[in-house]
């Protein structure tokens, strides 16, 4: 299924979400608005009889469980599919697997390493395919982050977001969504740790974490060691050490600034425990919003709204 660019009429039905750039600004806003509605009335029978496949070849707590619980709340079901238990691991091709799964499922969420593999799923499946995280993007996370910011500040337009640390998949999606929804991201990343897409208009990359955080409304970080980078652990811990989000760094942000982190967190590495669990952390609300935005996304992609 092909990505669609900025349709005049709002319709996400039958589409894929592989990258934030698949969404027009009005579509991203519609997802956030519906998420708020579903948060207020969580158990609406909008997807009765629908099944979401969860093809995850990487670990997951939040994404897996929020998609599953979300489908249950909407009257549908989710089916976890690990690569090991499919004929795929015995040599059946991805196109054939995608063709067959499309005959049973209504949508497929894929978490994998290479973004190109996600694109192959989308190419061969005839049902909506959702990026549940690749090495390049994490669009469901960005939608939850934008909702959390909008919840707290009442708007996204003009909001100044600081990012500190690794230029991860989460940063790319967050900045791409900012381009669409009006917030700006200044990211402090060490040399060699810049995001894979630095061409985003809503993103400025600097070296000094203090420069990024100074006056920011929101401060965001992510693990220093993303899934698939475990072999670089020692070097990453060393290189990213000056980018830890601690109380001292956060003190440079706006007086009522708050902190986001997609989780899982590594207290003492990218964030200190006092910031993670402190009163300026919006991290647990952010985790909760994963459920609401993904439910909204499913309802819209499956044409139930
Ligand atoms: N933030 C996030 O995607 O968490 P999981 O890896 O637990 O799904
Ligand atoms: N950047 C992290 C996000 C985990 C949700 C990773 O890709 O592992």
Distance 45 CA to ligand 2 centre (A): 32
- Model confidence at 281, pLDDT cuts 50, 70, 90, reads very high
Is-contact 133 143, C-beta < 8 A?
no
Domain 20-137+290-301 sits in CATH at 3.40.50.1370
Cα–ligand 2 centroid distance for 227 (angstroms) = 6
| CA atoms of 219 and 258, how far apart (whole Å) | 6
**What is the widest separation between alpha-carbon atoms in the chain?**
56
Phi, psi of 54 (to 5 degrees): -120, 95
- The answer to whether 152 is a known catalytic residue is no
Positions of E strands within 165-208: 184-188, 203-206
Supply the residue whose CA is at minimum distance from atom 7 of ligand 2: 226
Rounded CA-CA distance 97/282 in Å is 40
Whether the pLDDT of residue 4 is over 80: the answer is no
| Span 39-91, pLDDT tens digits | 999 999 999 999 999 999 999 999 999 999 999 999 999 999 999 999 999 99
CA angle 152, 156, 159 (to 5 degrees): 90
Mutate which of 56, 59, 61, 137 for ligand 1 pocket (most atoms within 8 A of beta carbon): 61
The mean per-residue pLDDT over the stretch 177-206 comes to 93
Q: What is the mean pLDDT of the chain?
A: 96
Q: What is the pLDDT, as a whole number, of residue 202?
A: 82
Q: What is the pLDDT of residue 3?
A: 45
Length of the chain: 305
Residue minimizing CA distance to atom 1 of ligand 2? 226
CA distance linking residue 173 with residue 139, whole number of Å: 5
Whole-prediction pTM value? 0.96
**pLDDT value of residue 262:** 98
- Atom nearest to 229 CA in ligand 2: 8
Closest alpha carbon to 144 in 133, 129, 135: 133
At 102-157, the pLDDT tens digits run 999 999 999 999 999 999 999 999 999 999 999 999 999 999 999 999 999 999 99
Q: What is the mean pLDDT of residues 154-171?
A: 98
| Pocket of ligand 1 contains residue 63 by CB under 6 Å | yes
Flag whether pLDDT at 10 surpasses 80: no
Q: Which of 19, 62, 111, 292 is catalytic?
A: 111
pLDDT at residue 1 in the model = 44
Rg (CA), the chain: 19
Question: Is 226's C-beta closer than 6 angstroms to any atom of ligand 2?
Answer: yes
**Mean pLDDT, to the nearest integer, of 275-285?**
98
Fold agreement (20-137+290-301, 139-287): yes
Q: Is the pLDDT of residue 2 over 50?
A: no
**Residue 250 banded pLDDT, cuts 50, 70, 90:** very high
Is the pLDDT confidence value at 305 over 50?
yes
What is the rounded distance in angstroms from the CA atom of residue 25 to the CA atom of residue 249?
Answer: 32
Is ligand 1 within 6 A of the CB of residue 261? no
| Cα separation values, 179 from 23, 182, 197, 199, 230, Å | 11, 6, 13, 11, 31
Cα separations in angstroms, 241 against 96, 184, 186, 288, 304: 45, 25, 19, 29, 47
CATH number of 139-287: 3.40.50.1370
Given a cut of 80, whether residue 8 has pLDDT beyond it is: no
Segments making up each domain of the chain, as ranges: 20-137+290-301, 139-287
Interior angle at CA 265, CA 133 and CA 217, nearest 5: 85
Q: Give the residue whose CA is nearest to atom 6 of ligand 1.
A: 60
CA of 132 to the centre of ligand 1 (A): 9
pLDDT of residue 9: 58
60 lines ligand 1 (CB under 6 A): yes
Contact in structure between 156 and 183 (CB atoms under 8 Å): yes
Whether 141 sits among the annotated catalytic residues: the reply is yes
pLDDT at 15 over 60: yes
Q: Which atom of ligand 1 is nearest to the CA of 140?
A: 3
Ligand at shortest distance from the CA of 54: 1
* DSSP conformation class of 21: G
* Token pair recorded at residue 266: 């590594």
Question: Is 145 considered catalytic here?
Answer: no
| Block residue for tokens 């196109």 | 95
> What pLDDT, on the 0 to 100 scale, is given for residue 239?
98
Per-residue pLDDT, 198 = 72
In a mutational test of the pocket of ligand 1, which residue from 286, 288, 290 has the highest number of ligand atoms less than 8 Å from its CB? 290
Three-state SS at 219: strand
């Amino acid at each position: 299924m092909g990505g669609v660019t900025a349709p005049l009429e709002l319709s996400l039905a039958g589409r894929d979400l592989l990258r934030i750039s698949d969404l027009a600004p009005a579509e991203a806003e519609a997802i956030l608005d519906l998420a708020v509605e579903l948060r207020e009335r969580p158990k609406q029978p909008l997807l009765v009889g629908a099944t979401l496949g969860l093809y995850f070849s990487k670990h997951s707590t939040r994404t897996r469980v929020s998609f599953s619980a979300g489908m249950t709340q909407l009257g549908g079901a989710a089916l976890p599919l690990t690569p090991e238990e499919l004929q795929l691991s015995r040599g059946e091709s991805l196109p054939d697997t995608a063709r067959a799964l499309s005959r049973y499922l209504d949508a497929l969420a894929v978490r994998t390493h290479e973004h190109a593999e996600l694109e192959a799923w989308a190419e061969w499946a005839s049902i909506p395919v959702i990026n549940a995280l690749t090495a390049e993007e994490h669009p469901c996370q960005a939608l939850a982050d934008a909702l959390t910011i909008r919840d707290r500040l009442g708007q996204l337009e003009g909001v100044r977001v600081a990012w500190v640390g690794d230029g991860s998949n989460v940063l790319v999606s967050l900045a791409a969504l900012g381009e669409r929804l009006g917030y700006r991201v200044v990211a402090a990343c060490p040399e060699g740790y810049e995001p894979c897409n630095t061409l985003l208009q809503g993103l400025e990359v600097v070296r000094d974490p203090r420069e990024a955080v100074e006056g920011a409304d929101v401060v965001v970080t992510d693990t220093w060691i993303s899934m698939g980078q475990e072999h670089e652990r020692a070097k990453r811990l060393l290189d990213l050490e000056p980018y830890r989000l601690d109380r001292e760094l956060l003190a440079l942000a706006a007086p009522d600034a708050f902190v986001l982190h997609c989780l899982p967190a590594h207290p003492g590495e990218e964030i200190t425990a006092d910031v993670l669990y402190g009163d300026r952390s919006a991290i647990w609300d952010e985790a909760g919003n994963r459920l609401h935005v993904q439910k909204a996304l499913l309802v819209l992609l499956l044409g139930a709204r």
